[in-house]
Amino acid sequence: MIANFVIGLNAGDVNDVSKAHRQASLELREANRNQLDTNSEAYKAIQLAATRARELHNTVKVRHRLHFLLGVAAALFVVLVNSISVTYFIGTSRWCREVVDTYGLDEDYANRSRSLKSKTFPWSISGVLVIITVAAFGGAADPGTSIETASDWVIPHYMAAIIGTCWIGYSFLMQVGLIGAHFDVIQEILSEVDDIRSNSKSDSSSYVHETDVDETPGQSENADGEQ
């Protein structure tokens, strides 16, 4: 997003260049429609202005296209990352709930998991909404839409891009911290489960050993009776 922001700044005034190109092209068409003498100085001046405007427009258009494509890629990336974050918490939070119920663990584990999920969702959703807003302002400011007020949306798009980039970056940092905290909860649950399973195996081994000891005297008596 930062790279795309820089490219957008260096793309130039796309709206003014596009307007100049349309105006020069219109004047050239009018001259041809009026059958203006192609050898006259007036026609040559109009033709030269149209040529220069077209060349400048083509140069700016390349940067604008790159800015547009990077903007789409950035929007998809932001939506994807936030979607992964939401999906992660939906799955792992449910897993924590099921494990706590199955092994009778402390309810604090499930409560902490649910609390972390609740704290993460606003950051994820706001990140998606912010990037949609930035993209919408960018679309409104795009001269390719032929909207007469496109130039009026350049500054709002510029401000939205600055604020949006900062907000999304901060939301990513917050989500990373919350995911790390949730990972710690999962590790604590796994540790508790391992302890329970280890104790269960120890109890089973002790029970089997005691059973073998109890059966030994009976087996000895049977052996004596046979003798």
- DSSP helix/strand/coil, 71: helix
pLDDT of residue 68: 86
Question: What does pLDDT average to over the chain?
Answer: 82
Residue 19's identity, in one-letter code, is K
Backbone φ/ψ region at 40: left (φ over 0), alpha (ψ -120 to 50), beta = beta
Other beta carbons within 10 angstroms of residue 20's beta carbon come to 18
Structural contact between residues 168 and 131, judged by C-beta atoms closer than 8 angstroms: yes
Residue 37 backbone dihedrals phi, psi, to 5 degrees:
-60, 120
Query: How far apart, in whole angstroms, are the C-alpha atoms of residue 125 and residue 175?
Result: 11
Residue tagged 């704290």 (tokens) = 119
Report the predicted TM-score, pTM, of the whole model to 2 decimal places. 0.73
Average pLDDT score over residue span 67-89 = 93
- Pick the most confident of 37-41, 149-153, 187-191: 187-191
pLDDT tens-place string over residues 1-29: 666 666 666 666 666 777 776 787 888 78
> In the chain, what is the greatest distance between 2 CA atoms, to the nearest angstrom?
137
pLDDT tens-place string over residues 195-227: 999 888 765 555 444 555 455 444 444 445 444
pLDDT of residue 120: 96
